[in-house]
């Protein structure tokens, strides 16, 4: 994986998280965000939910730079390194088993 210029300069991993609602419920706001924000080598750079309006709302609530409603678009973003995905009640995408996915 090629590092982008910003990562080389800051040394931080820019993380994208799938499945973080703006209402503060679920693993992302309760567990993932607080944990990642205490680690100096990580930055939550993107959020992805099922709809454009909920993604924008979650990004605003959590102070995240980018909002996506298409997981595939977020995965293709070159300025994001590992992607965390949580599974809650929904079937994972074809070919995925629902566990945390990183690349």
pTM of the model: 0.68
- Strand-pair category, 42-48 with 83-85: unpaired
Q: Residue 7: which H helix or E strand, with range?
A: helix 5-10
**Could you identify the residue written with the tokens 């709809």?**
51
**Which tens digit of pLDDT belongs to each residue from 12-60?**
899 899 888 888 888 888 888 899 999 999 999 999 999 999 999 999 9
Cβ within 8 Å of residue 99, ≥6 positions away:
87
Q: First vs last Cα of the chain: how many Å apart?
A: 8
Query: How far apart are alpha carbons 68 and 17 in whole angstroms?
Result: 10
Domain-wise residue ranges, the chain: 5-85
Q: Which CATH superfamily is domain 5-85 in?
A: NAD(P)-binding Rossmann-like Domain (3.40.50.720)
């Amino acid at each position: 994986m090629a590092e982008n210029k910003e990562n080389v300069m800051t040394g931080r991993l820019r993380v994208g998280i799938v499945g973080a609602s703006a209402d503060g419920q679920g693993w992302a706001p309760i567990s993932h965000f607080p944990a990642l924000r205490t680690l100096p080598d990580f930055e939550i750079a993107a959020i992805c939910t099922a709809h454009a309006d909920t993604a924008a709302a979650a990004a605003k609530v959590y102070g995240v730079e980018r909002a996506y409603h298409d997981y595939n678009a977020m995965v293709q973003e070159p300025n994001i390194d590992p992607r965390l995905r949580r599974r809650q009640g929904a079937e994972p995408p074809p070919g995925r088993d629902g566990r945390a996915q990183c690349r």
